[in-house]
Amino acid sequence: MSGLRPVDPVPAPPLVLRGRTFDAGRPAVMAIVNRTPDSFFGGNRHADLDSAKRALEEALALGADIIDVGGVRAGQEGEPVDEDEEVRRVVPFLEWARRAHPDVILSLDTWRSGVALAAAGAGVDMVNDTWAGADPDLVRVAARLGAGYVISHTGGLPPRTDPVAVTYGDDPLDVVRDVVTTLADGARAAELSGIPPERILVDPTLDFGKTTMHSLEVLRHTADVAALGYPVLQALSRKDFVGESLDVPVEDRLEGSLAATAVAAWLGATVFRAHDVRATRRVVDMVATIRGDRPPVHARRGTPQTGSANSR
């Protein structure tokens, strides 16, 4: 039985923000704080400022590394939100967060360059552009702020557009090819705008511009996204592809989200955007330990340590 070895895990390219490095041994959990009354998940509606503050404090206590703050629901079912209203929702909160937690890594979820400029005083560390450069000035603003930047894939759809009759070709892998090509092009453009590669995240952006079958195919090919050489963000939490796979509503999608998270972690994702911080933290840390990139906190079982709980 010589030559036995585990399946090789995929290297996870590192992300560097605010002097901290996240990689295969230290994956990052990005906690979601939605400053909206209509987020698709009722457990993350924090239109009230005090509620948002409590959500941030709880996320940090449960092990979040990054706080991602958004002011507009992604889908078209949400209420209209103009730029002024988006600024009103997110900027005061970000400024409070920076004062209350000077070292916290703050991410701004927006597709509008004007919102990112308005948040400059909060010292935003990351601009999470979930709509694939719909505002071409946004990447340049992120570079000017010295922030990281998320490259996303939406199949060419404009902001707040739900997918309808989306196709990428007859071959099921055509969607993977489109994702990889789009993210590679976007990452190169971000570098040319002045953002260093260790601050560029590539996000396959499951559900956006994709059917459930598309999202599942892309998830299986997370390793191909990681092979681009940039840190990979997977935003899997409670999404529709999970709900449709298991036939469960948003409130019952935790287990499916965690299963998808474990697969993405093994296949080389570095950052995980999540509603359920503690559960996601434990899953990605456990996967990192199974991979051999993170040592167990304790490894006493079966060792001759005096007084060990394992001696019973």
Q: What is the pLDDT along the chain (312 residues), one digit of tens a residue?
A: 456 666 777 788 899 999 999 999 999 999 999 998 887 777 777 888 899 999 999 999 999 999 999 999 987 777 899 999 999 999 999 999 999 999 999 999 999 999 999 999 999 999 999 999 999 999 999 999 999 999 999 999 999 998 898 999 999 999 999 999 999 999 999 999 999 999 999 999 999 999 999 999 999 999 999 999 999 999 999 999 999 999 999 999 999 999 999 999 999 999 999 999 999 999 999 999 999 999 999 999 998 875 555 544
DSSP H helices, the chain, are 49-61, 83-100, 113-118, 138-145, 174-192, 212-220, 222-226, 240-246, 254-266, 277-291
* pLDDT score of 310: 52
Partners of residue 66 on adjacent β-strands: 30, 105
| In the chain, where the domains are located | 22-296
* CA distance linking residue 231 with residue 183, whole number of Å: 11
Other residues' Cβ atoms within 10 Å of the Cβ of residue 15: 28
Domain topology for 22-296 = TIM Barrel (3.20.20)
* pLDDT score of 66: 98
DSSP state of 171: S
φ, ψ of residue 311 to 5 degrees: the values are -85, -5
State the residue for tokens 């009230």.
Answer: 48
Predicted TM-score (pTM) of the model is 0.93
Antiparallel, parallel or unpaired: β 15-17 and 20-22: antiparallel
6 CB-near residues (< 8 Å, 6+ apart)? none
* pLDDT score of 3: 66
